[in-house]
Amino acid sequence: MSQPDNTRSLTPLMEAEDEDKRVRARALRNWVLPFAVLAFGVFVLVGVGHSADGARSLFRAISHAESGIESEVLGNVAQLVGQVLGVAISVVAIIVELAANRYTHRITELFFKARTNIVVMGLYVVSAVQAMWASYSAGAGMVPRVASVLAMTLMTASVLSLLPYFAYVAAFVSPLEVIRRLRREALRVVEAGPRSSDRVDVERAQHAASESAEQLTDVAFNAMVHHDKAISMAAINAIGDLLKDYLEVKPTLPPAWFKMGATVRSDPDFVSLAPVALEQIEESKTWFEFMLLRQYEMVYRQALNTHRELNYLIASNVRDLAVRALDRNDRAVWDLSVKFFNTFLRATLNARDVRTGYNVLNQYRLLGELALRKKTPGLAGPIARHFKYYGQLAFNMDLGFLLETAAYDLCALNELAFDLDSKERPELLKVFLQVDKEGEGAKRETALRGVRKAQIKLAAYYLHRGDEAAARQVYKDMANENVQRLASIRDELLAVDSPHYWEVTDRGMNFDWLPDDRRGRLFEFFEWFGDALPQPRASIVLPMSAVGFMASALKSAQPIAPAQTTGHVASVDVPDDDDPASQLRDPGAATEGTVRGVSSVEVSSEPAPRLATDDEE
């Protein structure tokens, strides 16, 4: 039984090694092919010259060399190789420095530690020194043939490798390659762990891993400054991949790794934390995850209102981290992920970035759905309460659309809880019915209407699934609502005939849409409010599945006595047709006289207007 776990724990290392092999193979091809082409061209030209110069061929010149000519040639070779070395150093210094200034200073360190760079630069230096010594030894009638051939060979290799080396340098400083190397370096340090349990070795390993991870954040920040969206997203994904890989190797790390030494505690991500908070992080063994998530938080705050796609990606990666943590029964990392989701929402509200909040709530809801499907007690309830808290906070900040969004997400969670017969159903429903309890006022009526719509949608879902008792709880919560307001909400829900919102949105769905079978249940729900509730306008075209419910409602309707409301007094005429609902299926058969006196709410076939998020950005 332990074999799968061992194999799984080695997966990040194996994947990283496979990736390194592919990169090395690609780099080798980039070296070999240009070098081979250039070498072939040189030898062809040399061969042509050798065949044409029968009297003084290349081989004859080597075997019968003259000391004066040999010494002069070797001196020129030494100068040529020295010039090649100078050109290489100049070009490399410029390219590497530009890349380091644009993305991260760590590029310089990585470059000069690379084995390929050391080998090539070593070749240039050795070639120049060897040619100088060969030239010095020639003279006085003595020709060092072996040294001369070796000098010419090294010079040829140095010159031929110059262009492939420049291609290698350009590929090395590519930001995507730098991101890959930084992630691989951090993972390598973590997997290697400290050399011993000595505190100095542990802190050295912790510092090396933290530094590599923080450099990924620097790349993301600098790419944001230069509007390099693809590079920023690659850096964010690299942090997310590092987090997930870390969870795989975490069980193999020694206990000393999880102790926060002076180096970690003095890190900017931890230096401002209270001792109690540091103790909690150390006890939960999550200092490395906390540090990486703090990097996410910094990028998230910087990207608000400007680089929203990065915020969506961060939220998605944190959700993936929580999924991995739950799969591995790492409750501490799950709780930490939820805490950072809440932190993201707080930052979003402070920045008044409605569109980002709309999408982050979507990722948060998906996390709550996962918690319900895992059927682990105590996970979905806190998330629902956080939805309520931040939705009400947004409402009080005049960001009502986010309260409406939170309400619809809570509706989705309650529906899933019903489908899964979750033990958290009562708590989720209780939280949902409390979402609109904070604040009133006509100025923010739209958001509160959206909450009521979501609650009515849930009641229709309960009735569709045969749970009248749960639907009655929703009814009791709104039993004292203004009947005109409820009637307008009902008519707006009935008027929505498309599941797709008419603008391009990230969710791609219309909050107010109901399937035909559930739309029919609306009439059953609204019958509980009695005759004081006006009937739907005759201009609304109902689905076939809703006709039966509407027919029974019209047949049982009686003239309504004057209502004690500030609105219009409504009276209902019941048509004599045996199938009154057929008039509603045919808009041409209905007249405005079917419902008289209710003119405060006009309903059309278009969906109800939505609160425009762009106006609040």
DSSP-assigned states of every residue in 506-555: SS---TT---HHHHHHHHHHHHTT-TTSPPPPTTPPPPHHHHHHHHHHHH
Identify the band that residue 397 occupies on the pLDDT scale cut at 50, 70 and 90.
very high
Residues whose CB falls within 8 Å of the CB of residue 62, separated by 6 or more in sequence, listed in order: 145, 148, 149
Identify the band that residue 507 occupies on the pLDDT scale cut at 50, 70 and 90.
confident
- Would you give the end-to-end CA distance of the chain in angstroms? 53
Most confident of 440-444, 578-582, 603-607: 440-444
pLDDT, mean of residues 349-354: 96
Which of 29-33, 184-188, 341-345, 493-497 has the lowest average pLDDT?
Answer: 29-33
Which of 99-108, 325-334, 544-553 has the lowest average pLDDT?
Answer: 544-553
pTM for this prediction = 0.76
* pLDDT score recorded for residue 351: 96
| Residue in the structure block whose two tokens are 């370096």 | 185
* pLDDT score recorded for residue 70: 62
SS3 227: coil
Dihedral pair phi/psi, residue 173, rounded to 5°: -85, 5
CB of 161 closer than 8 Å to CB of 125? no
| Helix (DSSP H) and strand (DSSP E) numbers for the chain | 26, 2
CB of 384 closer than 8 Å to CB of 435? no
Residues whose CB falls within 8 Å of the CB of residue 94, separated by 6 or more in sequence, listed in order: none
* pLDDT score recorded for residue 130: 84
* pLDDT score recorded for residue 505: 76
**Which percentage of the chain shows pLDDT scores above 70?**
75
Identify the band that residue 444 occupies on the pLDDT scale cut at 50, 70 and 90.
low
Identify the band that residue 27 occupies on the pLDDT scale cut at 50, 70 and 90.
low
Q: Is residue 561 predicted with pLDDT exceeding 50?
A: no
CB of 120 closer than 8 Å to CB of 49? no
* pLDDT score recorded for residue 522: 87
Which of 316-325, 415-424, 455-464, 514-523 has the lowest average pLDDT?
Answer: 514-523
